[in-house]
């Protein structure tokens, strides 16, 4: 077992080194939203399929409207979706709608606002260049172009592209099943009567929600009592899942059995301490080809370490190839932050726009057991190791963990 305290970035790369892209499945187009694409998508035709009009107006030859005003005979109407085989002869115009294919012989479109809108003849007030108001065939995409790469996370724009490629079913990464077990003799579940000395198991639900947010499927294994045997038994069944997350029991307390139990099931522990606050004890372990994350019991430590280590791993397991880690932005701090300076600290903040600038508003309570400190938090402001604090008005780095 490695006993050295790791820097956050080193721990993140150690996590990523353990993860490979998992199984794939085919889902229907709308079910592909928020999943990770696992096939390259090749466009089978030019888009637009032909030169077409970007405006409602008149298809013309630019030469015929070089001197304006000029009147041209209108020889036809071209609605969108009804291409004409008629050819536009010199000195004539055809009324054309947005999206309709430009007829042979025409090389530009005069928008209707620059004409009198005539049906038999049209008076044109302003000239156009060759190609003006015409969208060229293939200017968006060419047949044979790879329009989406495997490894892309699928949002609304990707769904539109998949629809354009007429993909009724889409190959995506299967959602990993993530076993969640919460250790602690002090825990009672939400249906139980609370007894003296007991607290509610919030972490199972917190972690389930975080797992869902990351795009995976949580499987709750409930509360595990603080004995070595109970912890081993719980791990044994949890290891049937694709990933295992435990909460609590990873510190150096007399009843912290997670590391012991991992050893007992033959797991290889990669690290168990990270130079950060909250969340110093975080275990990364590999057992029977499964990755186990042992997160600390304090809800906030769980929350922070999940965002920094677990969510990126789940994304990679689903096949995502970029933007695995939450991005870091610069924001102006609205209240001072104090640190002991020994480890890097992640403060929960609300990132918001103040006077058009990104501001980081520290949440009132910063205790690692404080549920209120997570409410509304969409950022983790970093105070680096060796720094004792940051004053209000200074710029800080903030890890973005939610919508701004
Ligand atoms: P531990 O990491 O096991 O020492 O737990 C640290 C503290 O986190 C405990 O004293 C509890 O207050 C809290 N805690 C542990 N597990 C949970 C849980 N599942 N839900 C809410 N709080 C927890
Ligand atoms: Mg405990």
Determine which helix (DSSP H) or strand (DSSP E) holds 352, and give its type and residue range: strand 344-354
Q: Give the number of other CB atoms < 10 A from CB of residue 365.
A: 14
* pLDDT value of residue 243: 98
CA distance 149 to 13: 24
Q: 287 pLDDT exceeds 50?
A: yes
pTM of the full predicted structure?
0.93
Above pLDDT 90, what percent of the chain? 95
Closest among 50, 56, 46 to 79, alpha carbons compared: 56
CA 108, CA 128: separation in Å to the nearest integer? Answer: 7
Pick the ligand that lies closest to the CA of residue 281: 1
What is the predicted pLDDT for the residue at 357? 96
Q: What are phi and psi of 256, to 5 degrees?
A: -95, 100
CA pair distance 130, 102, nearest whole angstrom: 13
pLDDT digits (tens, 9 = 90+) for 292-333: 999 999 999 999 999 999 999 999 999 999 999 999 999 999
What pLDDT shows up at residue 3? 53
pLDDT at position 171 is: 98
- End-to-end Cα, the chain, rounded Å: 40
Identify the residue whose C-alpha is closest to ligand 1 atom 16.
Answer: 297
Q: What is the pLDDT of residue 4?
A: 65
- 63 DSSP assignment: G
pLDDT digits (tens, 9 = 90+) for 176-219: 999 999 999 999 999 999 999 999 999 999 999 999 999 999 99
Residue among 385, 377, 399, 403 nearest 329 (CA): 399
pLDDT digits (tens, 9 = 90+) for 324-370: 999 999 999 999 999 999 999 999 999 999 999 999 999 988 887 88
Of 98, 111, 106, the C-alpha closest to 63 is 106
User: Ligand 2 mean position to 96 CA, how many Å?
Assistant: 73
Confidence (pLDDT) at 368: 78
Question: pLDDT tens, 254-281?
Answer: 989 999 999 999 999 999 999 999 999 9
Per-residue pLDDT at 344? 96
User: Is residue 2 scored above 50 in pLDDT?
Assistant: no
pLDDT digits (tens, 9 = 90+) for 129-171: 999 999 999 999 999 999 999 999 999 999 999 999 999 999 9
Pocket of ligand 1 (CB under 6 A): 182, 184, 186-187, 199, 201-203, 247-249, 251, 253, 296-299, 369
Q: Which atom of ligand 1 is nearest to the CA of 281?
A: 2
Q: How far is the CA of 302 from the centre of ligand 2 (A)?
A: 13
Ligand 1 centroid to 376 CA: how many Å? 21
Q: How far apart are CA 85 and CA 94, in angstroms?
A: 12
The whole-number average pLDDT for the span 61-67 is: 98
* Ligand 1 pocket mutation, candidates 248, 283, 301, criterion most atoms within 8 A of CB: 248
Q: How high is the mean pLDDT of the chain? A: 96
Output the pLDDT for position 161.
97
Please, where are the H alpha helices in 239-387? Answer: 258-264, 299-305, 311-317
DSSP string, 177-227: EEEEEEE-TTEE-TTSPP-TT-EE--HHHHHHHHHHHTT-EEEEEEEE-SS
Rounded percentage of the chain residues whose pLDDT exceeds 70: 99
Predicted confidence at residue 1, as pLDDT, reads: 42
Among 222, 254, 272, 297, which residue has the most ligand 1 atoms within 8 Å of its CB, making it the best to mutate? 297
> Which residues have a beta carbon within 5 Å of ligand 2, which is an ion?
184, 248-249, 297
Peptide bond just before 278 cis, omega within 30 deg: yes
């Amino acid at each position: 077992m490695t006993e050295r305290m790791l820097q956050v970035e080193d721990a993140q790369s150690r996590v990523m080194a353990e993860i490979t892209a998992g199984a794939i499945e085919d889902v229907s187009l709308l079910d592909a939203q928020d999943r990770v694409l696992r096939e390259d998508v090749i466009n089978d035709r030019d888009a637009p399929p032909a030169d077409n009009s970007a405006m409602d107006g008149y298809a013309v030859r630019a030469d015929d409207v070089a001197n304006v005003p000029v009147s041209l005979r209108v020889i036809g109407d071209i609605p969108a979706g009804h291409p004409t085989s008629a050819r536009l002869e010199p000195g004539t115009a055809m009324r054309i709608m947005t999206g309709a294919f430009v007829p042979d012989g025409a090389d530009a479109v005069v928008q209707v606002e620059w004409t009198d809108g005539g049906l038999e003849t049209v008076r044109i007030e302003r000239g156009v260049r060759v190609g003006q108001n015409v969208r060229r065939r293939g200017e968006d995409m060419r047949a044979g172009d790879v329009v989406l790469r495997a490894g892309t996370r699928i949002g609304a724009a990707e769904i539109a592209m998949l629809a354009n490629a007429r993909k009724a079913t889409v190959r995506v990464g299967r959602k990993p099943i993530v076993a969640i077990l919460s250790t602690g003799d002090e825990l009672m579940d939400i249906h139980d009567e609370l007894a003296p000395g007991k607290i509610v198991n919030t972490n199972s639900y917190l972690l389930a929600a975080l797992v869902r947010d990351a795009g995976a499927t949580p499987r709750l294994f409930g509360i595990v009592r603080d004995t070595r045997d109970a912890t081993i038994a719980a791990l044994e069944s949890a290891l049937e899942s694709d990933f295992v997350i435990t909460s609590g029991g990873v510190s150096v307390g007399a009843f912290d059995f997670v590391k012991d139990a991992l050893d007992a099931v033959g797991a290889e522990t990669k690290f168990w301490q990270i130079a950060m606050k909250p969340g110093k004890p975080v275990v990364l372990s590999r057992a029977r080809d499964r990755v186990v994350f042992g997160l600390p019991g304090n809800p906030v430590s769980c929350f922070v370490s999940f965002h920094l280590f677990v969510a990126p791993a789940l994304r990679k397991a689903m096949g995502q190839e970029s933007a695995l880690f939450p991005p870091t932005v610069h924001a102006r701090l609205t209240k001072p932050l104090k640190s002991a300076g020994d480890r890097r600290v992640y403060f929960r903040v609300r990132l918001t726009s103040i006077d058009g600038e990104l501001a980081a508003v520290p949440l009132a309570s910063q205790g690692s057991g404080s549920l209120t400190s997570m409410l509304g938090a969409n950022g983790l402001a970093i105070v680096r190791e060796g720094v004792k604090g940051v004053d209000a008005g200074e710029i800080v780095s903030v890890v973005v963990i939610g919508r701004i």
